[in-house]
Amino acid sequence: MAAKFTFFQVGNGDMTLVRLADFNVTTILIDCHIRSKADDPNDDTPDVARALRERLLRDDKDRPYVDAFMLSHPDKDHCGGLSKHFWLGHPDEYPDDKKDRWEKRIIIRELWSSPLVFRRRSKNHTLCDDAIAFNKEARRRVQYWRDHRWASSGNRIKIMGEDVDGKTDDLRSILVKSDEWFSDINGSSSSVFRAQLLAPAPHEDDANLEEQLTKNESSIVMNMEIWPSQFSSKRTRFFVGGDAEVLIWERMWERFENAPETLAYDLLLAPHHCSWHTLSWDSWSGKGEDAKVSEAARNALGQAKQSATIVSSSKKIVDDLNDPPCIRAKREYRAILREVDGWFACTEENGSKGVLELESASDGTVIKAAVAVAAAATSAAAAAAPRAGALKK
């Protein structure tokens, strides 16, 4: 099986499933945004919870699971529905074994979390209930590791980026520092995946910069290398950056202008749902066509490889003053892709049946995949199953 990338149709939000081309079909879920309307059988909002479960394997207790879940940053449009659809707690206390298989909450084998991103976000914003629940579960897993210096599947956590004041100094075994590479997922080294963490990093020696980063939607920024198959020599580079705004991308170019291959990608998830604030300090609604592009931010996001793809996880992009998504940002991304014969896609415009599904080609590029899900989903029982979250208790 080729490596696959599933972008769920969640409006202006993010929810992306990566399935690796290894024997275990390792899964990495980046963010989730499962709206209450998506759980309503009387609403035509795509049932992304069902679409996700259809693409997940189950363990020997028939519990659905993801091998890793990464929260890029704790906004509701990146973690909505988390508590309802994922089990947050010790796996030994999992309470859903007697539920219908489509109602069972999803086990997160390993959590990827950034305490620094949480700290910056909570400084000026009130966290939503799902973000608070995620943070509580992250703290539980960190404490579990501190108590045991080891953790089993369902209790594991990987810390993305150092925290302030030395708070993560004793967590080196589960800590990935900015600029470091890692290839282990849920306690096992992968032969078809590796990733470099590019942000966040603390700047305690520069209070002004730290304050600016807090205001610029600090997020986990990561460039993944994913092998199209177990026998491939090429790799697909998948670049993600949550809702990171213009300052963060300007700093990326400042850091890597002399090593632009660090930022190169075959597949880019357009930051902040194709927002203009990723590429400019100016307001699109205020200045319109007079708004100026930040050359440094555009350069950071412009390292597209030949035949690259950029995906906007958003509503349909139209020519108006909305932001996000923003028509001007779309034009900039399409200009970037024009130079490499690439493709721009929007989940709402280019997806089908709740998803936009791509797969790695042998040369490392990505192509649109035929929608195929787990065999169980094609059974008569599965076909008749109600929406996840819609069953009466």
Sequence spans of domains, the chain: 4-384
Q: 88 pLDDT exceeds 60?
A: yes
Per DSSP, the three-state class of 266 is strand
CB 330 within 8 A of CB 317: yes
Q: How far is CA 274 from CA 122, 186, 269, 280, 328, in A?
A: 24, 31, 9, 12, 9
Q: pLDDT tens digits, residue range 157-188? A: 999 999 988 999 999 999 999 999 999 999 99
What pLDDT score does 214 carry?
66
% residues pLDDT > 90 (the chain): 81
85 contacts: CB under 8 Å, gap ≥ 6: 32, 34, 49, 52, 105, 106, 388, 389
CB 72 within 8 A of CB 52: no
pTM reported for the whole predicted model: 0.92
Q: Which of 35-49, 96-110, 312-326 has the lowest mean pLDDT?
A: 35-49
What is the residue whose two structure tokens read 């703290």? 139
Does 353 or 52 have the greater pLDDT score? 52
Q: Does domain 4-384 have CATH number 3.60.15.10?
A: yes
